[in-house]
Amino acid sequence: MPLADATQTEAPAQRARAHPGSVRAVAPARLHLGFLDLNGGLGRMFGSIGLAVDVPRTELVLKRSRTFKGEGPDHARAVAMLHRIVDAYALDGAYEVNVTSAIPPHAGLGSGTQLALAAGAALMALEGIDYNPSRLGEIVDRGARSAIGMAAFEQGGFIVDGGRGALDRAPPILIRVDFPTAWRALLVLDAHTAGVHGEAETKAFATLPPMPEVLAAKLCRLVLMQLVPGLAEADMQAFGDALTEIQRIVGGHFAAAQGGSPWASSAVGRVVEGLRRNGAYGIGQSSWGPTGFAFAPSQEIAARLYDSSIGLARAEGLEIVIAEGRNRGASVEKIAST
């Protein structure tokens, strides 16, 4: 079973043709694996755990144009992002963006952040402007609660940020380590369900009660004393046990905003639980979902888990993708004419 992006919309005839002065950007999806502190009693709130993965991904090509225009999946949002960045940098040009593949929107995979940063980084490269991904994120309103999407774009790997404090800026990155190259993530995708987003997400965060301090403390202990050491020692049992418990606590806290369930998609929950019963580690839902995940210590075991679960997944209208951790950031390169 190939390591392919099941949501990839690109076909050979749809690939952007390279032109003089064009730039291609490829940005990885990110998994949001949970929060550190939903209590806030120490002056910081949230704190996020994230992982960059190689699929799905956003790929686009940007070139100068007489007018702003675009094509491909999610191109309207990319054009809107370009307008904001052009205004922020007081540029006087216009641009055409061709999105050849896109991370599914509202799936818990960081599609908006990666699309915005890919468009912005391509623009900066095209115009020869030095930039900071965090600054681009601020321009397009990314990083309000988490910096893991921006860090995934810039560095890749496994990431923990320190949550929002008193300063009006993206949270600081506390931990960034490589993800074991042999390990795999099985992503369970539901194209028919959207996770909480936009105004509904803002309202959900505003109405959720503070997490009890004892649970916030337990989350921090799980991350620092089990999850990260398990990752550093390539101990999937320790990593997976910690992650499943983190997801149980965080999912229980957010269940009220998801109809009383820790899963945005009950079908995804059934498939992910099936993966766990068949031997997967570290199960949960990325952000507001609906994407679910489980981990395997090797490609061989991931393929076996895929084979044992794909029938159920497709019967539920879902797909499973095997992903690798991506231990480098986005690629941004000028492309020659053809």
Q: What is the mean pLDDT of residues 52-58?
A: 97
For the stretch 157-196, pLDDT in tens is 999 999 999 887 889 999 999 999 999 999 999 999 987 7
For the stretch 303-331, pLDDT in tens is 999 999 999 999 999 999 999 999 999 99
Q: What is the mean pLDDT of residues 127-150?
A: 82
- Say which CATH number the domain at 261 has: 3.30.230.120
Question: How far is 157 from 33, CA to CA, in rounded Å?
Answer: 13
pLDDT confidence of residue 259 = 81
Question: How far is 148 from 171, CA to CA, in rounded Å?
Answer: 9
In angstroms, the Cα distances linking 148 to 27, 62, 271, 272, 296 are 13, 25, 26, 23, 22
Residue 11 has pLDDT above 70, yes or no: no
In a domain, 254, yes or no: yes
In a domain, 6, yes or no: no
Higher local confidence (pLDDT), 298 or 4:
298
In a domain, 4, yes or no: no
Residue 6 has pLDDT above 70, yes or no: no
| Angle of CA points 136, 163, 36, to nearest 5° | 135
Q: Is the omega angle on the peptide bond into residue 20 within 30 degrees of 0, that is, cis?
A: no
Question: How far is 219 from 11, CA to CA, in rounded Å?
Answer: 43
Per the structure, the complete domain to which residue 214 belongs is given by 12-335
Q: How many folded domains does the chain comprise?
A: 1
In a domain, 3, yes or no: no
In a domain, 1, yes or no: no
Q: What is the pTM of this model?
A: 0.89
Closest alpha carbon to 306 in 333, 271, 254, 334: 271
Residue 227 phi/psi, 5-degree rounding, is -65, -55
pLDDT confidence of residue 90 = 94
Residue 143 has pLDDT above 60, yes or no: no
For 138, counting Cβ atoms within 10 Å of its Cβ (0-12 exposed, 13-18 middle, 19+ buried), the class is middle
Task: Indicate the average pLDDT of the chain.
Answer: 90
Helix axes 299-315, 266-277, angle to 10 degrees: 140
In a domain, 304, yes or no: yes
Residue 205 has pLDDT above 90, yes or no: no
In a domain, 45, yes or no: yes
In a domain, 7, yes or no: no
Q: What is the mean pLDDT of residues 108-134?
A: 92
